[in-house]
Amino acid sequence: MSFLDGFMIRAALAGLGVALAAAPLGCFVVWRRMAFFGDATAHAAILGVALSLTFEAPIFAGVLIAALGMGYIVSTLGARGHAMDTLLGVLSHSAIAFGLVAVSFLSGVRVDLMAYLFGDILAVSRMDLLVIWGGAISVLGLLWWRWSALLTVTLNPDLAAASGIDPKREQLVLTLALALVVAVAIKVVGVLLIGAMLVIPAAAARPLAQTPERMALGGVVIGAASVIGGLQLSFWFDTPTGPTIVCVAASLFVAVTLADALRQAVRH
């Protein structure tokens, strides 16, 4: 019997792969206040699912293309002066609506929308694990390669431009990384919860870290704890696994925030 034959083992490895990729990227999402950008990119994934099923292509490929397309559209329109919050609201809700309508038109294809909306981590296969970890390693490699440039652009775009760093190029790097995370995470937590796994672990790690690198590492630890804790609680109480993982992450965020507030109150 293989180590990977147990569905809980595969689920844990899949969740850890997503946490490993989402947490460092989530730090940039938090620093740049791009939470809605993440949601818009994730919501486009449903349209990608519909395209994949229509053309009988791999789901991963369709989701990746749709997420990249949404990220590029948002970046391009935002650079042209459109109000970003309004633009993201329109595109985010439109993408998921058009995606759901497109899926409904698929004849002869049975689609489990709940699995795509909220994830189906317990049904992860060995091939899914390969895709998830391949995507996670690609995202980590991309962030490792551009970490210094991305930090400089995030902290001071003018200084970055003066140093020869192109902010638009770095935005495209973030867009590519975000699309990869969406594509690998859709099986684990689903379209509606991907944004939460990007933002919550990173936000929870923020009060605990003194450097950007420590915040990214703290986000990975909190994300991993959320996955393991969520899987265990879901097994005990027979609750939906993806949402339970996010609930654990949210609980950790509240605990860290309260502890930080208490620490600051004691200091003063």
Question: Would you state the pLDDT for residue 78?
Answer: 67
- pTM surpassing 0.75? yes
Residue type (1 letter), 183: A
pLDDT tens-digit map of 88-112: 888 888 988 998 898 888 877 777 8
pLDDT tens-digit map of 177-204: 999 999 999 989 999 899 999 999 999 9
3-state secondary structure 152-169: HHHHCHHHHHHCCCCHHH
CB atoms within 10 A of CB 162: 10
Average pLDDT, the chain: 90
**Rounded Cα distance, 186 and 203, in Å:** 21
pLDDT tens-digit map of 8-26: 999 999 999 999 999 999 9
**Statement: 3-267 belongs to CATH 1.10.3470.10:** yes
**What is the C-alpha R_g of the chain?**
19
Average pLDDT value for residue range 44-56: 89
* Local confidence band at 1 (pLDDT 50, 70, 90 cut-offs): very low
